Chains A and B, each alone.
Chain A
Amino acid sequence: MMSTSKIVGAVEIGTAKITVLVGEVLEGQSLNIIGLGEAPSQGVQKGVVVDFKVASKLVHDALARAEKAAGASIDAVYISQSGSHLNGFFHTSTVNVSSSTGTVYDSDVERAVKEAKAKELPDDRVYLHHIHNGYTLDGRPVVEPVGMQGEKLSLSYWSIHGDIQQVRDNIHVINAFGLTVEEAIVSSLASGLMVTTDAEREHGVLVIDFGAGTTDYVLYQGGFVRASGSIPVGGDHITNDLSLGLRISQKQAESLKIEFGKARLESADEEEKVWLIGDKMIGDRHLPKAALVKIIEARAQELVGIIFQQLKRVYEPKSIPAGIIMTGGASLLPSLGNLVESTFHQEVKMGITPSWVREDLASPAYSTALGLLHFALTGQAMQVPRSSGRSRLWGRVAKIFN
């Protein structure tokens, strides 16, 4: 038999940047990254496409560039999904084991799965993922219940759903290039998978991806996704706050943020002044650094506080012994890590891409796209129990879009 290979594209339509990676999946077992295409993003705000035309053109440019670099045509696309429309809930279903002997059969598992996924969503919502969160048999966690003895079988999912229209918009951008979307994957799950190890996810770890338009997070415990979310606040907000607060243009605010920005005010900043343009001509102004930092600090504190509040249900410092991992462009803001540490009372480190990734793709900027490719190869982070077909779940979404 001939060896089969499939060319997959991983597309992240970010608020600041569009990234396309092309991977070759061999025999469904190994992956080669063969192409990269990038474009600065426009028409995307807070993680959501707001100008379809502009965004499409730029995504198509990046796709064309990536295909050219790879020297191959993409067969199918995995796309990341972010934005405030994403919501998740934790749901557990319990069924009575039906056989008289008390042995768990496939049919019991299937009933539990069906029930766990049965919760209907409003018409404008669609499930993106049902993420398996483990079985318990009579209250004991079990990895594989079939064949075991018991009375009550429970199964939990962290289910993520999104706004149909917004998921559809992303898919249409790809379709307009003549490609089909194999799967839409929530960004935090993709990047989270890349910057953590199996061991960290097993022990418990929180990943926060500070992007330009959104801040996405995912909390792993016992190897499962316990919670995830997307806050529609990112680096763009800091820039906008500075622009409005200091009465300067977005461009000036962006460069001040990059040059002088930090998440915490220190006493040394109090007396310092920074020049707005730097040429000290008419129109240039000096601004107190304290004003700049205070505006950023207020925003960063609020953002981290919101994430903390969203995780209250599941979070305590000892629940994530592997600590907190930060990634994303806005995570480069100095002293943001300090602020996260003092809010969560846990250690913070910057995300590192696994060693198998090519050096030029090791920046946190690529972690989401790499994660998408990883999904294409394994589907691993879904933690899908063998009896629940991923294709069936996606079949439902696909039906809506075709």
Chain B
Amino acid sequence: MMMSENHDSVKSSVTMQLVGLGGAGSNAIAHLHSCGALSSVSKIALDTDKKALDALDVPTKHCMGASLLRGLSSGGSVELGQKALEADDDAVRALLGSSDFTCLLVGLGGGTGGGAGPAVAKMLAENGSLLIAFAILPFSFEGAKRQKEAQESLALLEHHCDAVISLPNSILLQQMEESVSATEAFAAANLWFERAIISLHTLLYFPGLVNADFSHLQALFSASSGKTLFALGRGAGDHCLEQALQDLMLCPLRHIPDALERAGSLLVSVVASPDLDMNAINELIASVANTFSSKDQTVVNLYLDDSLSSSIDVCVIGVTSPVKTSGAPRMTSSVSSAINRAEPPSEEEDFSQKKKKRKGLLSSIARSQEEFDFVEESLDARGYFEKTDKNLFEGEDLDVPTYLRKGIKVNLR
């Protein structure tokens, strides 16, 4: 996605940084650095493997624990990953500095990422940064040990971070063609991170027609402490809205087991081309809120990007409520009340014009809610069988879909 040039006047002075840890994390940072839209965001890559770091084009990089590992990798050891960070604690802390908002990118399942990840997250949290971690989880064929280590690291990360968005490689792989290589899967993971982070960046720095900002993001994550929901959808061309909605439903970031849970609080961020029909966009937002939210707490950010045509990007960020609510969500009050709370883009020049547009938007959202009625049933992690005992047969839970346990690829497109 390209940002148009005439929005240099950012809507906030919030500082944002991207931190990549370990091989996978640093690699993702290098990829993000190559994205024009994020050129002004500060980026740091941390790894123990000097050779791998040297090969990356990242503005700030640091080889951790060189005295201990002599610039070699941690060889998949959680312990060495931890020790490398401990040996370099002060240097890393100084490097991380203080930033309002940090995205930490890390690969879990042993090694530098899994070992040092939780401690780096702790440092960042102590610096007072709003912290979202993006974690790549190992392939299921990488074995039970790595899976277990990844789950342990993930639990620790969740403890320190405001939100953790995980992307299991096996789910990613499942969405791809039969013959895809592991490298291609990593590249695909990087593309998902790119879209996710650009969406967050847009939310923070570009004033929307319906506006949400850093405070909304903060409020979202401080309100409840459940699981993080995150999904992206994109559409282009004549049927871009339908396409974006379908894309959103299939997003691998919205993976099982959280796939069909509803968020207690939800933020929907939309970047659309100005040529799209406002009513259609409203319908889309109402439908997204209907699908993802469980209560009347949906904040909307809608940004019209003049450089685009016939295209739309949707980003959904939510947090599930720790206590589950049953029954159909009460959407009627939700979107409108949330939009009322959102501040108008006061520094915009053509404010009055946009305000008019916005007013029309509000009434049509209220209308479209009644029309939208494809409410999904409330579902939990193991779906229909969530509340029943595990169905164990030779160590496998038979209630979990077979195709997932067996790693059978299912192409949903």
Contact = CB atoms under 8 A, between A and B. Distances in A.
Interface of A: 45-46, 48, 50, 84, 231-233, 236-237, 239-241, 243-252, 277, 282-285, 287-288, 290-291, 294-295, 298-299, 301-302, 306
20 contacts: A45-B388, A232-B398, A233-B391, A236-B384, A240-B383, A243-B379, A243-B384, A244-B383, A244-B401, A244-B404, A250-B377, A251-B377, A252-B376, A284-B242, A285-B246, A288-B412, A298-B401, A299-B401, A301-B402, A302-B402
A401 B402 CA distance: 38
B403 A282 contact: no
Contact of B402 (A84, A241, A246, A277): A241
A247 B254 contact: yes
Interface in B298-314: none
A376 B82 CA distance: 69
B10 interface: no
B388 A294 contact: no
B262 to A, nearest CB: 12
A291 B383 contact: no
A285 B161 CA distance: 35
A240 B388 contact: no
A298 B402 contact: yes
Contacts of B359: none
A84 B245 contact: no
A291 B406 CA distance: 15
B372 interface: yes
B410 A50 contact: no
B403 A247 contact: no
Contact of B284 (A246, A282, A284): A282
B249 A285 contact: yes
Contact of B413 (A84, A252, A288): A288
A58 to B, nearest CB: 18
Given A233-B398, A290-B411, A283 B245 contact: yes
A240 B413 contact: no
Contacts of A244: 256, 259-260, 383, 401, 404
B356 interface: no
A239 B384 CA distance: 9
Contacts of B150: none
A283 B410 contact: no
A241 B249 contact: no
A298 B259 contact: no
Contacts of B404: 244-245
A291 to B, nearest CB: 5
B287 interface: yes
Given A84-B391, A232-B398, A298-B406, A240 B384 contact: yes
Number of chain B interface residues as a range: 35 or more
B374 A283 contact: yes
Given A247-B260, A282-B241, A282-B245, A298 B399 contact: no
Contacts of B413: 288
B394 to A, nearest CB: 9
B141 interface: no
Q: 5 smallest A-B Cβ distances: which pairs? A: A241-B401, A249-B376, A298-B403, A298-B402, A240-B384
A299 B399 CA distance: 10
Interface of B: 241-242, 245-246, 249-250, 254, 256, 259-260, 280, 283-284, 287, 372, 374, 376-377, 379, 383-385, 387-388, 391, 393, 398-399, 401-404, 406, 408, 410-413
B250 A247 contact: yes
Contacts of B403: 241, 245, 294-295, 298-299
B259 A283 contact: no
Contacts of B398: 232-233, 237, 302
Nearest to B383: A240
Contact of B411 (A247, A284, A291, A301): A291
- Residue of A84, A237, A250, A294 with highest tally of chain B CB at under 10 A: A237
A294 to B, nearest CB: 5
A302 B408 CA distance: 12
A243 B383 contact: yes
Contacts of B249: 247, 285
Contacts of B372: 283
Contacts of A249: 260, 376-377, 379
Given A244-B256, A244-B401, A247-B250, A288 B387 contact: no
Contacts of A50: 387-388
A246 B241 contact: no
Contacts of A295: 401-403, 410
A282 B401 contact: no
A245 B411 CA distance: 10
A282 B260 contact: no
Given A240-B385, A247-B249, A282-B283, A298 B391 contact: no
A115 to B, nearest CB: 32
A182 to B, nearest CB: 29
Contacts of B379: 243, 249-250
A232 B412 contact: no
Given A50-B387, A243-B383, A291 B260 contact: no
B291 to A, nearest CB: 9
A245 B410 contact: yes
A243 B260 contact: yes
B74 to A, nearest CB: 35
A299 B405 CA distance: 10
A301 B398 CA distance: 13
A233 B406 CA distance: 16
B399 A240 contact: yes
Contacts of A294: 403, 408, 410
Contacts of B388: 45-46, 48, 50
A295 B377 CA distance: 21
Contacts of B245: 282-283, 285
Contacts of A290: 411
A46 B377 contact: no
Nearest to A285: B246
B287 A282 contact: yes
Nearest to B251: A247
A231 B410 CA distance: 26
B377 A277 contact: no
Nearest to A290: B411
A197 B268 CA distance: 62
Contacts of A301: 402
Nearest to B374: A283
Contacts of B254: 247
From B254, B391, B403, residue with most partner A Cβ within 10 Å: B403
B391 A46 contact: yes
A287 B412 contact: yes
A117 B402 CA distance: 38
A46 B385 contact: yes
A302 B246 CA distance: 30
Taking each of B256, B383, B406, which has the highest tally of chain A beta carbons within 10 Å of its own beta carbon?
B383
Nearest to B375: A249
Contacts of B242: 282, 284-285
Which of B384, B388, B391, B413 is most buried by chain A, counting CB atoms within 10 A of its CB?
Answer: B384
Contacts of B284: 282
Contacts of A250: 377, 379, 383-384
A154 B262 CA distance: 61
